Chain A
Amino acid sequence: MIRFENVSKTYKNGTPALKDISLDIEKGEFVFLVGASGSGKTTFLRLLLREEHPDKGRILEAGRDIGDLPKWRVPYLRRNIGCVFQDFRLLPNKSVFENVAFALEVIGRPRSTVESQVPQILELVGLTDKSKNLPHELSGGEQQRVAVARAFVNRPLILLADEPTGNLDPSNSESIMALLERINRTGTTVVMATHDKALVDRMRRRVVELDRGEMIRDQVRGVYGIDEGVSI
C-alpha cells in the first residue's frame, strides 16, 4: 500500500529530516511511527500527503508513484488518505454533524450521501447523541473522535494519525486507540506517529523508529524502546 524507496528529505534551512528511508507497508497494516521530536515523523506523514516532495527516492501509494501526480490530481490523492492531528482541527462554528458532513460536501458528494454516511460514522465513533453540539461543548476525547469520524467518513484506504492522543488523558487515549483499531480491522492501513510509550507497548503492532531522520528500527511486533521492551 505504501512504499518508500530510498527517500531523503532536507529542509531549506539545511536540517536533514529523513535520510535514505526504504520501507513497505502492506494493505491493512497498523504501523506505529516512534521517535523523539524532530526525528522526522511529521515529515514522513507530510510526504505521504504530498505536502512535501522528497529530494531523493520515490514514494508509491497503491502502486503509483505520487511524485508523478500532476498538481491538480493531488486533491484526489488526499481523498484516499484520512488525517487526524494532535490539535483536532475542527471548525469551531460548525456542529459535530456539520464538521463531519463538511468533509463530504467539499468533495462534491450529494446531500443523500451526506445524510446516510454521517449518522453511520457518528454511530461508529459513539457520538450520535452529540451530533448537534459545537466542538467547544465536547471533551478533548470526544473532539478527537469527531476528527477521526471526519477523517474516515470518506472511507479512505489510508489513515494517518499525527500524535492523536498527544492532548488526551489515558482513558480518552484508550478510546481513540480502540477506534483506530476498529478502523484498521475494516482493512484500512493506519500509520500513527506517537510518543505514547504505554500505548505502543500494549498494542504489540509493527513499530518503525526514527532517529534524527534515520530509520533505526523496524519491528513487526514491537514496543516503544528496545531496551525497555526486553525487560519483563
Chain B
Amino acid sequence: MRVYFRYAFKETFSNLWRNRMMTIAAVLCVAVSLSLVGSALLLKQSAAQASVLWQQGTRVTVWMLPTASTSEISSVRSQLSSSPIVKNCVFYTQAQDLAEAKKLLPTNEWSVLTVASMPTSFRCTPTVPSDAFVVQNTYQHQPGIYQVTTPGSQIREMNKVIRVLQIVFLALAAVLLLSASVLILNTIRMAIFARRREVSVMKLVGATNWFIRIPFITEGFIQGLLGAVVAVLAVTALHTWYPLHNEFQLNTSALIGTNAVVLIVGVVIGSVGSAIAIRRFLDV
C-alpha cells in the first residue's frame, strides 16, 4: 500500500510537471469559473440577508387625505394603536410632511406645495415584517385615507435585479466550468498519450486497472482542487476587502459555506474530467 502511494504521488506530480502549460490553463479556467460561482452565491446570500433586514425595518405609511376630518384621523389613529399586527405608529402633521418633502424633492417641485395641500400621515411599524401588506390591504379603502404605501415593491424590484445578475453569473460560470472540464480532460488525455509505453508495459506485467488509472484521476483531481483553492482565495478577498454596506456584509459561516461549495465543485469537475478521459482514451 505504502509503495503504491509513493508511486501514485510520484506519477501524478511528474505528469502535472510535464504538462505544466496545460495544467496552468486548466487550473486558471477552473479558478475563474469557480470565482464567479462563489461570487454569485455570496451575492445571493447578501441580497437575501439585506432584504430580511430591510423588511424588519419596514415602515407602512398611511397617507390621509389632505381633506380628512379630525374625526376620521382620530378613528384611524385608534384603530392602528389597537391593532395587534401594528407595533407602533408615529403621527406626522402636515407641516412635518412638508418639511420631509422639502428634503426629498427638488426645489421647483416642493416650491408649489403648501401646508394646506399636504396630507397628514401615520408612519407605522408592523409587528411582523410580512404583515406590511396586510396592514396595507386593511386600511387602503377606509374613509379619509388617500393611500397606504410599503417599501415592499422597491425590495421586490431590487431582488429582481439581483436575480438577473445571479443568473448571468451562474450561466457564465456554467460555460466556463464546462470549458474547464474539457481542458482537464484534454490534459489527462495528453498525459495518457505521453505515457502510453509505460501503460502498455504495465498491462503486460499485470498491473491492475486501478493501479494504472489512479495517477491520472488524481492528476485531474489536483487540477480541480488547485483551481478551487485560487477561487476560494478570490472569494474570501472579495468578502473581506470589498466595502459593502453593513446590511450586505455576511458573517464568516456564510463565507465558509460558500467556499465549501466552491471546493467541492472544483474537485468534482477535476475528477469527472479525468474519469471521462480515462474511459475514452485509456484502454485498460
Contacts and interface: CB of A to CB of B under 8 A. Distances in A.
Interface of A: 72, 75-80, 83, 89, 91-92, 102-103, 105-111, 150-151, 154
Nearest to B207: A106
Contacts of A76: 206, 208
Interface stretch (B92-100, B135-143, B193-201, B265-273): B193-201
Interface string B203-225: 11111110110000000000000
B237 interface: no
Given A72-B208, A105-B3, A106-B211, A91 B203 contact: no
A134 B3 CA distance: 24
B4 interface: yes
B122 to A, nearest CB: 78
A154 B211 CA distance: 17
A8 B198 CA distance: 32
B207 A109 contact: no
Contacts of B7: 105-106
B206 A79 contact: yes
B200 A107 contact: no
Contacts of B205: 78-79, 102-103, 106-107, 150-151, 154
A91 B198 contact: yes
22 contacts: A72-B208, A75-B206, A75-B207, A75-B208, A75-B209, A76-B208, A78-B204, A78-B206, A83-B204, A89-B197, A89-B201, A102-B198, A102-B201, A105-B3, A106-B7, A106-B207, A107-B207, A108-B211, A110-B3, A150-B205, A151-B205, A154-B205
Interface string B171-208: 00000000000000000000000000110111111111
Contacts of A102: 198, 201, 205
Contacts of A107: 205-208, 211
A113 to B, nearest CB: 9
B4 A108 contact: yes
Contacts of A150: 201, 205
A106 B201 CA distance: 10
Contact of A91 (B3, B201, B206, B209): B201
B10 to A, nearest CB: 10
B209 A72 contact: yes
B110 to A, nearest CB: 84
A106 B47 CA distance: 54
A108 B3 contact: yes
A92 B201 CA distance: 12
B67 to A, nearest CB: 90
A187 B208 CA distance: 26
Interface string B240-279: 0000000000000000000000000000000000000000
A144 to B, nearest CB: 15
Contacts of B200: 89
Contacts of A83: 204
Contacts of B197: 89, 91-92
A218 B201 CA distance: 32
Nearest to B2: A110
Interface in B1-36: 1, 3-4, 7
Given A91-B201, A102-B201, A77 B206 contact: yes
Given A75-B207, A79-B206, A106-B211, A111 B201 contact: no
B132 to A, nearest CB: 65
B204 A89 contact: yes
Which of A75, A83, A109 is packed against the most chain B CB atoms within 10 Å? A75
A91 B202 CA distance: 11
Contact of A78 (B1, B4, B198, B203): B203
B209 A106 contact: no
Which of B201, B202, B205, B207 is packed against the most chain A CB atoms within 10 Å? B205
Which of A72, A77, A102, A108 is packed against the most chain B CB atoms within 10 Å? A108
